[in-house]
Structure 1
Amino acid sequence: MAKLLYSATMSLDGFIAAPGGDMSWLTEHLADPDPAAEGLVDRIGAIIAGNGTFGGGDPNEGTDKEGAFGGQYDGPMFVLTHRPPAEPVPGITFVGDLRTAVAEARAAAGDRYVNILGANVARQCIEAGILDEVLVFVAPVLLGDGVRLFDSPGGTRVRLEQLEDEPAHWYRVVYP
């Protein structure tokens, strides 16, 4: 069964987007290839994104690298939202609840990863006890404010276990 992986690039001070969800800060940090990131897209069978992430800014907007993983991903995408658009969006499935999104994405992914995009969806997966792994790429910048990698005021501690055969910031989520 497909594992749920939350992957994101964050600033050294823990933000994945600047205030207002601005992703343009990432552009300069995506210029150099990262060996761990390059192999990742082939291991992803489906994506679940939050509506904010889906409708948010793309650091590669207007270029040939626009889209998930610099335009390299071309597969099933599920957007978790209570407000789907009136008109269908080709290649996108809008889903109203987390459990349904996960079930549909796992079925679509087969034995590859379901990649979670968006801090809110990742938090929901942690709270539901269904997130399997976390992969974080750290960009050498301090944003000072914005959307945190994880933000759960009053939340509980989550234990992570580093995966030995993966990059230094790839962890398995350990539930009690």
Structure 2
Amino acid sequence: MTVLQYQCTMSLDGFIAGVGGDMSWLTPFFGPDPAVDEVMRDTGALLVGRRTFGGDDPLVGNAGEAEPYGGGWSGQQVVLTHRPPAADVPGVSFAGDLQSAVAAAVAAAGDKTVGVLGAQVAAQCLAAGILDEILVFVAPVLLGDGVRLFEHDGGTNIALELVERGRTAAVPHLRYRVLR
């Protein structure tokens, strides 16, 4: 069964992007990392939010610009949006609702993981009860403001089970299973 896994890097104070979606804070943490390599090998498709798809690219002007995982991953991307671009984008499809976006990503992933990118689409998957895991790399930096890992209105607790704790390169990571 395909796993839907929210994949992100977060600052120690809980932000996955800076103010205005700034992603430049990530650049000091790029580099070879066996844990990231494993994530890329295990990911068969990406389910991406529109802001993440069209957002700030920390690799602007460098190799890997506008490519998932800096060009280290290739495969089908499904972008959840009500505003698809006018022109086709190779390797990318667009869906206007969560159900069809997830179905397309799961079909494209085969027996591999669907990587969920973007705080809003991850929150929608969580609210729909279809998010299976959260994989977060914790960068040793405090951003102070920006896009939070999760915005969760209503105060409902969501139980998680720690599945993996690791440290490779400079950034530790945690993988949780979402308990239902």
* TM-score of Structure 1 vs Structure 2, range by shorter chain: over 0.9
Deviations 1:110-168 (A, max 9, x none): 1100000000000000000000011010001000000000111224211110115x635
- For residues 153 and 22 of structure 1, the distance between their equivalents in structure 2, rounded to whole angstroms, comes to 24
Partner of 1:174: 179
Deviation at 1:61, TM superposition (A): 2.1
TM-score of the pair, normalised by structure 2:
0.92
Tell me the equivalent position of 1:107. 107
Q: How many residues align?
A: 173
- The residue aligned with 1:37 is 36
Alignment correspondent of 2:162: 162
Output the CA distance in 2 between the equivalents of 1:155 and 1:64.
Answer: 42
Quote the residue 1:46 is aligned against: 45
Q: Shift of the alpha carbon at 1:25?
A: 0.7
Overall identity of the aligned pairs, in %: 58
In structure 1, what residue type is equivalent to 2:60?
Answer: E
Which position in structure 1 is the counterpart of 2:169?
none
Distance 1:18 1:156 in 2: 26
Q: Which runs of 4+ in 1 moved over 2 A?
A: none
Superposition deviation, residue 62 in structure 1:
2.2
What letter matches 2:58 in structure 1? P
Moved more, 54-63 or 141-150: 54-63
- Residue number in structure 1 paired with 2:143: 143
| Larger strand fraction of residues | 2
Q: Which amino acid aligns with 1:82?
A: H
For residues 14-163 of structure 1, the aligned pairs below 5 Å read 14-31=14-31, 33-66=32-65, 67-163=67-163
User: For structure 1, which segment, 58-67 or 145-154, has the greater mean C-alpha deviation from structure 2 after superposition?
Assistant: 58-67
State the shift of 1:34 in Å: 2.5
1: CA distance between counterparts of 2:96 and 2:61?
A: 29
CA distance in 1, matches of 2:94, 2:115: 16
Q: Which one-letter code corresponds to 2:40 in the other structure?
A: V
**CA–CA separation in structure 2 for the residues paired with 1:64 and 1:169:** 28
- Give the TM-score normalised by the residue count of structure 1: 0.94
SS at match of 1:84: coil
The CA distance in 2 between the partners of 1:91 and 1:62, in whole Å, is 21
Paired with 1:87 and 1:140, the residues of 2 have a C-alpha distance of 39
Structure 1: unaligned runs, 5 residues or longer: none
Letter in 2 for 1:118: G
RMSD: 1.2
- After TM superposition, give the deviation of residue 104 of structure 1 in Å: 0.8
Question: Structure 1: how far apart are the matches of 2:60 and 2:79?
Answer: 19
Moved more, 65-74 or 50-59: 65-74
Residue type of the alignment partner of 2:44: G
- Cα distance in 1 between the residues matched to 2:58 and 2:44: 22
SS in 2 for 1:69: helix
Distance verdict in 2 for CA 1:129–1:74, change over 3 Å: same
